[in-house]
Amino acid sequence: MMQIGEDDWAETAPDAHEHPGFGVDVPKGTRGDLTPDAPLAKLVWFKSGGAADWLFEPADTEDLIHFLSGLEPGTPVMALGLGSNLIVRDGGIPGVVVRLGKPFSSVEVLRDNMLECGGGAPGILVASKARDAGIAGLEFLRGIPGTVGGFVRMNGGAYGREVADILVDCDVVISDGNLVTLPVEDLDYTYRHSRLTDDAIVVAARFRGAKGDPEVIGAEMDRIADERENSQPLRTKTGGSTFKNPEGAKAWKLVDEAGCRGLAKGGARVSEKHANFLINTGEATSADIEGLGEEIRRRVAERTGYNLEWEIRRVGRP
């Protein structure tokens, strides 16, 4: 790990023949941590995949803007949250992976039943803060295994609700270092999709709920937690729901109908507990996991006529 000081100019770009990825010139005054060839397997739920050319953990939003504005144009940038809903391919990720840590995990209660949340705040924290403040309508975030940045980007949802129902606006830093505030209307939300590109980093968001009873809100959160525990393989190396639900159908039922429950490839397996979850049984490569997913898609299309779309993001070099 490299700590960049206020008075340093650290030109970290190695010779192109020594490093397969992108070099990075770090602007003077960058305060965050920068790590070259950073292993990512330990940071993602599947516990598989290669390294990032560079992993940057900014000290705050200003530090992120400063760092990105000094990158060579065209350098790939990708945000990383809790590492759920993600396959990092075995060849690693080119360019810079930005991980929003503790400085981005705050949740503040505002007036009019609103919350202001950092892009790195996990869904369970947002839901808990809303409960304590008597703000209803955000309970479903208890069931989303990710951070604000991730579920704002993909219009995350669960238990009949989605982010489009509660988002007011969000602050986004794009890869050239510009900071913009986008109202929910500008995100063009559809099912598990927004107009935000991979290099757009959500650093904060405002959500609005409705006045509610903390005990009732808490009971609903407990119900969601119990349902997830009973129906999903939460205590395994998994990435969450693998495929989007096609219109008029449930992905897990289609996987079941195609005879894929328990199907395995290398160290990857379809969960016996929930057929829309893939699990790493121990030593699976990301190629095993992605290959299993593609085999499921092939069998489902052949036997049911549905073409399943990935809900899990797959990123990086094969």
- Which string of DSSP letters, residue by residue, matches the chain? -EEPPTT--EE-PPPTTT-SS---EEPTT--SEEEEEEE-GGGSTT----EEEEEEE-SSHHHHHHHHHTSPTT--EEEESSS-SEEE-TT-EEEEEEE--GGG--EEEETTTEEEEETT-BHHHHHHHHHHTTEES-GGGGG--SBHHHHHHTT-EETTEEGGGTEEEEEEE-TTS-EEEEEGGGG--BTTB-S--TT-EEEEEEEE-EE--HHHHHHHHHHHHHHHHHHS-TTSEEEEE-BPPPTTS-HHHHHHHTT-TT-EETTEEE-SS-TTEEEE-SS--HHHHHHHHHHHHHHHHHHH---PPB-SEEES--
Catalytic annotation, pick one of 194, 241, 271, 286:
241
Among 131, 142, 153, 192, the active-site one is 192
**Which position among 57, 162, 290, 311 bears the catalytic label?**
311
Q: Is 241 a catalytic residue?
A: yes
Tell me which residues are annotated as active site: 192, 241, 311
